[in-house]
Structure 1
Amino acid sequence: MRAILSVRISSPLPADELVRRMNARAADFAAVPGLVQKSFGLDPLSGDICGIYIFETRAALEAYRASPLATSIPAAYAATEIRREIFDLVNLVQAQSAGAPRAEPS
């Protein structure tokens, strides 16, 4: 079963610097074994950033969490607070470019 990792980070860094750092690390995340997708987000009100990861399996997620890339996140973003949550992926809905949403079983 696929798994989701949600990470929310508070940091004193300005938004433009956080986005620059996210973009600079994107290729590193693209090379993570078992990672299907990672989305970066920025909360314009709090300044917090987030990462939403979808992994092929829970084992791939756990392997990532123990990796140097994952453990470097607090320092990379000067994190003052990190909140992590893990979920089993139950359903994934992706919009088609022209038409109704498409459901993809997990």
Structure 2
Amino acid sequence: MKYNLQNLRTIMKKSGIDKDYYSIYPDENFLSETVIFIRKQADKWEIGTEDRCVYHDIKQFNTEAEACQAFLERYYPEVLNEKNACNFIICRVLTKCLNALKMEGLQMWSL
């Protein structure tokens, strides 16, 4: 599959990954202290991590497609495989449910 920003957004949304943890160009979503990003800088595409206004591990690419592919491979490889993506989504949902129960003071077993 050839990736672009639009289908990258769709993949991230369908995977249930919280929008607060990533930023996809042209959005400037840096609400959390640490965010992974994909952005266009001059004539290059970049992926990397921003932590408290400091950029780390920046990789540059010539095309949007290369950057989108690298973004998924580097930060969310589990969403590239449909079987793993389903397991990933189920784990995310279970984790959110368990965290909500803990916040209510209910104790559950450990997974």
Pairwise same-fold verdict (TM > 0.5): no
Normalising TM by the smaller chain, what interval? under 0.3
TM-score (norm 2): 0.24
Larger Rg computed on CA atoms: 2
Using CA pairs below 8 Å that are at least 6 residues apart, which structure has the higher relative contact order? 1
More strand by share: 1
**Structure 1 length normalisation: TM-score?**
0.25
Which structure has the highest helix share of the two?
A: 2
